[in-house]
Structure 1
Protein backbone atom coordinates (compact mmCIF):
# COMPACT_ATOMS: atom_id res chain seq x y z
CA UNK A 1 0.00 0.00 0.00
CA UNK A 2 1.22 3.47 -0.80
CA UNK A 3 -0.32 5.06 2.30
CA UNK A 4 0.90 4.47 5.85
CA UNK A 5 -0.03 5.80 9.26
CA UNK A 6 2.50 6.60 11.93
CA UNK A 7 2.01 7.81 15.45
CA UNK A 8 4.76 10.15 16.58
CA UNK A 9 6.84 13.22 15.93
CA UNK A 10 7.21 14.30 12.29
CA UNK A 11 10.62 15.81 13.03
CA UNK A 12 12.00 12.30 13.67
CA UNK A 13 11.25 10.82 10.23
CA UNK A 14 13.92 9.88 7.75
CA UNK A 15 12.22 10.55 4.44
CA UNK A 16 12.70 12.41 1.20
CA UNK A 17 10.37 15.07 2.52
CA UNK A 18 8.19 16.08 5.44
CA UNK A 19 5.33 18.53 5.04
CA UNK A 20 5.17 21.43 7.47
CA UNK A 21 1.91 23.06 8.50
CA UNK A 22 3.50 26.49 8.17
CA UNK A 23 2.54 30.06 8.90
CA UNK A 24 2.39 32.47 5.94
CA UNK A 25 5.76 34.03 6.85
CA UNK A 26 7.44 30.56 6.73
CA UNK A 27 9.54 31.73 9.67
CA UNK A 28 8.24 29.35 12.32
CA UNK A 29 5.61 29.56 14.98
CA UNK A 30 3.89 27.18 17.34
CA UNK A 31 2.87 23.55 17.00
CA UNK A 32 4.46 21.43 14.32
CA UNK A 33 5.83 24.52 12.56
CA UNK A 34 7.76 25.58 15.66
CA UNK A 35 9.00 22.04 16.32
CA UNK A 36 10.31 21.73 12.76
CA UNK A 37 12.06 25.09 12.91
CA UNK A 38 13.64 24.37 16.31
CA UNK A 39 15.02 20.99 15.25
CA UNK A 40 16.09 22.11 11.76
CA UNK A 41 18.08 25.02 13.20
CA UNK A 42 18.55 28.66 12.29
CA UNK A 43 19.61 27.80 8.74
CA UNK A 44 16.00 26.88 7.98
CA UNK A 45 14.71 30.30 9.03
CA UNK A 46 17.44 32.01 7.05
CA UNK A 47 16.57 29.97 3.96
CA UNK A 48 12.84 30.57 4.39
CA UNK A 49 13.43 34.33 4.40
CA UNK A 50 14.44 33.97 0.75
CA UNK A 51 11.14 32.30 -0.18
CA UNK A 52 9.02 35.42 0.31
CA UNK A 53 6.32 33.80 2.41
CA UNK A 54 3.51 31.57 1.25
CA UNK A 55 -0.21 32.04 0.71
CA UNK A 56 -2.93 29.77 2.06
CA UNK A 57 -3.15 26.59 0.01
CA UNK A 58 0.21 27.09 -1.66
CA UNK A 59 3.40 25.16 -0.96
CA UNK A 60 7.14 25.85 -1.12
CA UNK A 61 10.17 23.64 -0.62
CA UNK A 62 13.35 24.00 1.41
CA UNK A 63 16.21 21.78 2.55
CA UNK A 64 15.61 20.13 5.95
CA UNK A 65 18.99 21.14 7.40
CA UNK A 66 19.39 19.39 10.81
CA UNK A 67 16.37 17.11 10.45
CA UNK A 68 16.66 13.46 9.37
CA UNK A 69 14.42 14.21 6.36
CA UNK A 70 16.07 15.58 3.24
CA UNK A 71 13.55 18.32 2.44
CA UNK A 72 10.62 20.22 3.88
CA UNK A 73 7.56 21.25 1.94
CA UNK A 74 5.93 24.19 3.70
CA UNK A 75 2.22 24.66 3.15
CA UNK A 76 -0.12 27.16 4.77
CA UNK A 77 -3.42 25.69 5.79
CA UNK A 78 -6.64 27.64 6.15
CA UNK A 79 -8.10 28.81 9.42
CA UNK A 80 -11.51 27.26 9.96
CA UNK A 81 -13.61 30.35 10.52
CA UNK A 82 -16.59 30.42 8.19
CA UNK A 83 -17.10 26.69 7.55
CA UNK A 84 -17.02 27.50 3.85
CA UNK A 85 -16.29 25.62 0.64
CA UNK A 86 -13.30 27.91 0.08
CA UNK A 87 -11.72 26.73 3.35
CA UNK A 88 -12.24 23.12 2.28
CA UNK A 89 -10.72 23.85 -1.15
CA UNK A 90 -7.78 25.65 0.46
CA UNK A 91 -7.05 22.58 2.59
CA UNK A 92 -7.26 20.32 -0.49
CA UNK A 93 -4.85 22.66 -2.24
CA UNK A 94 -2.36 22.31 0.60
CA UNK A 95 -2.18 18.59 -0.08
CA UNK A 96 -2.36 18.85 -3.87
CA UNK A 97 0.34 21.52 -4.15
CA UNK A 98 2.59 19.62 -1.75
CA UNK A 99 2.08 16.42 -3.75
CA UNK A 100 2.84 18.25 -7.00
CA UNK A 101 6.17 19.39 -5.57
CA UNK A 102 6.90 15.82 -4.44
CA UNK A 103 6.02 14.54 -7.91
CA UNK A 104 8.21 17.14 -9.60
CA UNK A 105 11.19 16.16 -7.42
CA UNK A 106 10.37 12.43 -7.71
CA UNK A 107 10.31 11.99 -3.94
CA UNK A 108 9.73 8.41 -2.90
CA UNK A 109 8.43 9.14 0.60
CA UNK A 110 6.47 12.15 1.84
CA UNK A 111 5.31 12.55 5.44
CA UNK A 112 2.33 14.81 6.13
CA UNK A 113 1.45 16.46 9.40
CA UNK A 114 -2.24 17.07 10.20
CA UNK A 115 -2.53 20.43 8.45
CA UNK A 116 -4.79 23.09 10.03
CA UNK A 117 -6.07 20.84 12.84
CA UNK A 118 -4.23 22.59 15.66
CA UNK A 119 -4.41 26.30 16.31
CA UNK A 120 -6.12 26.90 12.95
CA UNK A 121 -9.16 25.03 14.26
CA UNK A 122 -10.07 22.78 11.34
CA UNK A 123 -12.21 19.88 12.65
CA UNK A 124 -10.01 16.80 12.72
CA UNK A 125 -12.65 14.51 11.24
CA UNK A 126 -13.26 16.78 8.26
CA UNK A 127 -9.54 17.48 7.75
CA UNK A 128 -8.61 13.79 7.82
CA UNK A 129 -11.30 12.96 5.26
CA UNK A 130 -10.17 15.78 2.97
CA UNK A 131 -6.50 14.85 3.22
CA UNK A 132 -7.07 11.11 2.83
CA UNK A 133 -9.34 11.48 -0.20
CA UNK A 134 -7.05 14.06 -1.83
CA UNK A 135 -3.92 11.96 -1.34
CA UNK A 136 -5.61 8.72 -2.42
CA UNK A 137 -6.90 10.29 -5.65
CA UNK A 138 -3.51 11.81 -6.41
CA UNK A 139 -1.65 8.53 -5.86
CA UNK A 140 -4.01 6.68 -8.20
CA UNK A 141 -3.02 9.01 -11.02
CA UNK A 142 0.69 9.56 -10.31
CA UNK A 143 3.84 7.48 -9.88
CA UNK A 144 5.41 9.86 -7.36
CA UNK A 145 5.49 10.06 -4.47
CA UNK A 146 5.76 6.30 -4.07
CA UNK A 147 4.54 6.43 -0.47
CA UNK A 148 2.67 8.94 1.67
CA UNK A 149 2.78 8.72 5.44
CA UNK A 150 0.24 10.49 7.61
CA UNK A 151 2.09 11.32 10.81
CA UNK A 152 -0.34 11.67 13.70
CA UNK A 153 0.86 13.34 16.86
CA UNK A 154 -2.34 12.56 18.77
CA UNK A 155 -4.51 9.48 19.15
CA UNK A 156 -7.64 11.21 17.83
CA UNK A 157 -6.08 11.87 14.41
CA UNK A 158 -4.62 8.36 14.30
CA UNK A 159 -8.05 6.80 14.97
CA UNK A 160 -9.69 8.97 12.32
CA UNK A 161 -7.19 7.83 9.68
CA UNK A 162 -7.48 4.20 10.78
CA UNK A 163 -11.23 4.38 10.30
CA UNK A 164 -10.82 5.92 6.85
CA UNK A 165 -8.46 3.14 5.81
CA UNK A 166 -10.84 0.48 7.16
CA UNK A 167 -13.67 1.99 5.09
CA UNK A 168 -11.58 1.83 1.91
CA UNK A 169 -10.27 -1.73 2.33
Structure 2
Protein backbone atom coordinates (compact mmCIF):
# COMPACT_ATOMS: atom_id res chain seq x y z
CA UNK A 1 0.00 0.00 0.00
CA UNK A 2 1.44 3.41 -0.90
CA UNK A 3 2.25 5.60 2.10
CA UNK A 4 0.28 8.52 0.72
CA UNK A 5 -2.93 6.61 1.42
CA UNK A 6 -2.45 7.15 5.14
CA UNK A 7 -2.40 10.94 4.60
CA UNK A 8 -6.19 10.77 4.64
CA UNK A 9 -7.63 7.72 6.41
CA UNK A 10 -10.74 7.48 4.27
CA UNK A 11 -8.59 6.94 1.15
CA UNK A 12 -8.06 3.29 2.09
CA UNK A 13 -11.82 2.65 1.91
CA UNK A 14 -13.41 1.58 -1.35
CA UNK A 15 -17.17 1.10 -1.49
CA UNK A 16 -18.17 -1.59 -3.97
CA UNK A 17 -21.34 -3.41 -5.02
CA UNK A 18 -20.60 -7.11 -5.29
CA UNK A 19 -21.22 -10.58 -3.97
CA UNK A 20 -18.62 -10.77 -1.19
CA UNK A 21 -18.18 -14.50 -1.75
CA UNK A 22 -16.67 -13.85 -5.19
CA UNK A 23 -14.05 -11.27 -4.20
CA UNK A 24 -10.37 -11.97 -4.73
CA UNK A 25 -9.02 -10.28 -1.60
CA UNK A 26 -6.69 -11.57 1.09
CA UNK A 27 -9.70 -11.87 3.41
CA UNK A 28 -13.42 -11.41 3.50
CA UNK A 29 -15.25 -10.73 6.74
CA UNK A 30 -18.08 -12.99 7.78
CA UNK A 31 -20.93 -11.46 9.76
CA UNK A 32 -21.06 -14.57 11.91
CA UNK A 33 -23.17 -15.94 14.73
CA UNK A 34 -21.59 -16.80 18.08
CA UNK A 35 -21.50 -20.53 17.28
CA UNK A 36 -19.68 -19.76 14.00
CA UNK A 37 -22.14 -22.10 12.28
CA UNK A 38 -23.51 -21.65 8.78
CA UNK A 39 -26.50 -19.36 9.16
CA UNK A 40 -28.61 -17.15 6.97
CA UNK A 41 -27.70 -14.08 4.97
CA UNK A 42 -24.05 -13.34 4.25
CA UNK A 43 -22.89 -15.96 6.77
CA UNK A 44 -24.80 -18.72 4.99
CA UNK A 45 -23.58 -17.52 1.59
CA UNK A 46 -19.94 -17.50 2.74
CA UNK A 47 -20.20 -20.99 4.23
CA UNK A 48 -21.93 -22.32 1.09
CA UNK A 49 -19.27 -20.84 -1.20
CA UNK A 50 -16.34 -21.92 0.99
CA UNK A 51 -17.55 -25.49 1.38
CA UNK A 52 -17.95 -27.74 4.42
CA UNK A 53 -14.30 -27.33 5.43
CA UNK A 54 -15.13 -23.84 6.71
CA UNK A 55 -17.62 -25.13 9.26
CA UNK A 56 -15.11 -27.75 10.42
CA UNK A 57 -12.42 -25.06 10.83
CA UNK A 58 -14.82 -22.82 12.77
CA UNK A 59 -15.96 -25.47 15.28
CA UNK A 60 -12.93 -25.31 17.60
CA UNK A 61 -12.99 -21.49 17.55
CA UNK A 62 -16.56 -21.20 18.86
CA UNK A 63 -18.01 -19.49 20.70
CA UNK A 64 -17.01 -16.11 19.32
CA UNK A 65 -18.56 -13.42 21.48
CA UNK A 66 -20.19 -10.27 20.14
CA UNK A 67 -17.51 -7.81 19.04
CA UNK A 68 -14.77 -10.42 18.87
CA UNK A 69 -13.17 -11.80 15.72
CA UNK A 70 -11.20 -14.87 14.62
CA UNK A 71 -9.65 -16.10 11.36
CA UNK A 72 -9.81 -19.26 9.28
CA UNK A 73 -8.67 -20.29 5.83
CA UNK A 74 -10.96 -19.36 2.94
CA UNK A 75 -11.15 -22.90 1.52
CA UNK A 76 -13.30 -22.76 -1.66
CA UNK A 77 -13.41 -18.95 -1.76
CA UNK A 78 -11.23 -16.69 -3.88
CA UNK A 79 -10.24 -14.98 -0.62
CA UNK A 80 -7.39 -16.74 1.18
CA UNK A 81 -8.93 -16.14 4.61
CA UNK A 82 -12.24 -15.52 6.32
CA UNK A 83 -12.28 -13.24 9.35
CA UNK A 84 -15.36 -14.06 11.41
CA UNK A 85 -16.87 -11.40 13.64
CA UNK A 86 -20.11 -11.37 15.57
CA UNK A 87 -22.08 -8.17 15.37
CA UNK A 88 -24.65 -7.01 17.89
CA UNK A 89 -28.37 -7.60 17.52
CA UNK A 90 -30.11 -4.21 17.35
CA UNK A 91 -32.18 -3.65 20.51
CA UNK A 92 -32.99 0.02 20.08
CA UNK A 93 -29.50 1.44 20.48
CA UNK A 94 -29.32 1.52 24.26
CA UNK A 95 -27.59 -1.83 24.83
CA UNK A 96 -24.02 -0.95 23.86
CA UNK A 97 -24.70 -1.86 20.23
CA UNK A 98 -22.55 0.95 18.77
CA UNK A 99 -19.51 0.02 20.87
CA UNK A 100 -19.90 -3.66 20.00
CA UNK A 101 -20.29 -2.96 16.28
CA UNK A 102 -17.21 -0.74 16.30
CA UNK A 103 -15.32 -3.56 18.05
CA UNK A 104 -16.23 -5.89 15.16
CA UNK A 105 -14.57 -3.62 12.62
CA UNK A 106 -11.58 -2.83 14.85
CA UNK A 107 -10.90 -6.45 15.81
CA UNK A 108 -11.27 -7.72 12.24
CA UNK A 109 -8.76 -5.10 11.02
CA UNK A 110 -6.33 -5.93 13.82
CA UNK A 111 -6.44 -9.62 12.83
CA UNK A 112 -5.76 -8.64 9.21
CA UNK A 113 -2.80 -6.49 10.26
CA UNK A 114 -1.38 -9.24 12.52
CA UNK A 115 -1.56 -11.64 9.55
CA UNK A 116 0.05 -9.14 7.13
CA UNK A 117 -3.01 -9.09 4.90
CA UNK A 118 -3.04 -6.42 2.20
CA UNK A 119 -6.76 -6.38 1.39
CA UNK A 120 -10.02 -7.26 3.08
CA UNK A 121 -13.72 -6.87 2.39
CA UNK A 122 -16.47 -6.22 4.91
CA UNK A 123 -20.20 -6.79 4.50
CA UNK A 124 -22.58 -4.44 6.30
CA UNK A 125 -22.22 -6.16 9.68
CA UNK A 126 -25.42 -6.56 11.74
CA UNK A 127 -27.69 -4.85 9.18
CA UNK A 128 -29.40 -8.03 7.96
CA UNK A 129 -31.20 -10.37 10.32
CA UNK A 130 -29.57 -8.63 13.32
CA UNK A 131 -31.65 -5.54 12.46
CA UNK A 132 -29.09 -2.75 12.87
CA UNK A 133 -30.27 0.37 10.97
CA UNK A 134 -28.15 0.69 7.81
CA UNK A 135 -27.42 4.40 8.20
CA UNK A 136 -26.21 4.06 11.79
CA UNK A 137 -24.15 0.97 10.97
CA UNK A 138 -22.55 2.79 8.01
CA UNK A 139 -21.49 5.70 10.23
CA UNK A 140 -19.89 3.29 12.71
CA UNK A 141 -18.14 1.30 9.97
CA UNK A 142 -16.60 4.37 8.33
CA UNK A 143 -15.63 6.19 11.52
CA UNK A 144 -14.11 3.08 13.11
CA UNK A 145 -12.11 2.15 10.01
CA UNK A 146 -10.80 5.72 9.71
CA UNK A 147 -9.95 5.84 13.42
CA UNK A 148 -8.01 2.57 13.19
CA UNK A 149 -6.24 3.87 10.07
CA UNK A 150 -4.85 6.72 12.14
CA UNK A 151 -3.41 4.22 14.63
CA UNK A 152 -1.84 1.66 12.29
CA UNK A 153 0.90 2.39 9.77
CA UNK A 154 0.38 -0.54 7.37
CA UNK A 155 -3.37 -0.78 6.85
CA UNK A 156 -4.87 -3.23 4.39
CA UNK A 157 -6.98 -1.91 1.52
CA UNK A 158 -10.53 -2.09 2.82
CA UNK A 159 -13.53 -2.79 0.63
CA UNK A 160 -16.99 -2.13 2.02
CA UNK A 161 -19.03 -4.59 0.01
CA UNK A 162 -22.65 -3.69 -0.59
CA UNK A 163 -25.33 -6.17 -1.53
CA UNK A 164 -28.05 -3.51 -1.89
CA UNK A 165 -28.24 0.01 -3.27
CA UNK A 166 -29.55 1.29 0.08
CA UNK A 167 -26.47 -0.09 1.84
CA UNK A 168 -24.20 1.54 -0.75
CA UNK A 169 -26.00 4.88 -0.40
CA UNK A 170 -25.67 4.80 3.39
CA UNK A 171 -21.95 4.01 3.20
CA UNK A 172 -21.27 6.69 0.57
CA UNK A 173 -23.15 9.25 2.68
CA UNK A 174 -21.22 8.22 5.80
CA UNK A 175 -17.89 8.49 3.98
CA UNK A 176 -18.80 11.94 2.61
CA UNK A 177 -19.77 13.14 6.10
CA UNK A 178 -16.53 11.77 7.52
CA UNK A 179 -14.45 13.45 4.82
CA UNK A 180 -16.28 16.74 5.26
CA UNK A 181 -15.72 16.60 9.03
CA UNK A 182 -11.97 16.01 8.67
CA UNK A 183 -11.22 18.56 5.94
TM-score by length of structure 1 reads 0.96
CA distance in 1, matches of 2:63, 2:25: 24
Moved over 2 A (4+): 143-146, 164-167
Distance in 1 separating the partners of 2:13 and 2:93: 28
Counting only pairs closer than 5 Å after superposition, residues 99-110 of structure 1 correspond to structure 2 as 99-110=109-120
- Matches of 2:133 and 2:32 in 1, distance apart? 18
Show structure 2 runs of 5+ residues with no match: 1-10
Does the Cα contact within 8 Å between 1:128 and 1:160 map onto a contact in 2? yes
Does residue 42 (structure 1) correspond to residue 52 (structure 2)? The answer is yes
Tell me the C-alpha RMSD between the 2 structures: 1.1
| In 2: Cα distance, 1:93 partner to 1:85 partner | 14
Using the TM superposition, give the Cα deviation of residue 33 of structure 1 relative to its aligned residue in structure 2, in angstroms.
0.1
Give the C-alpha shift of residue 53 in structure 1: 2.0
Q: 2:35 maps to what in 1?
A: 25
Deviations 1:7-61 (A, max 9, x none): 0110010011110000111011000000000000000011111212200000010
Choose from 133, 137, 145 the match for 1:127: 137
Unaligned runs of at least 5 residues, structure 1 = none
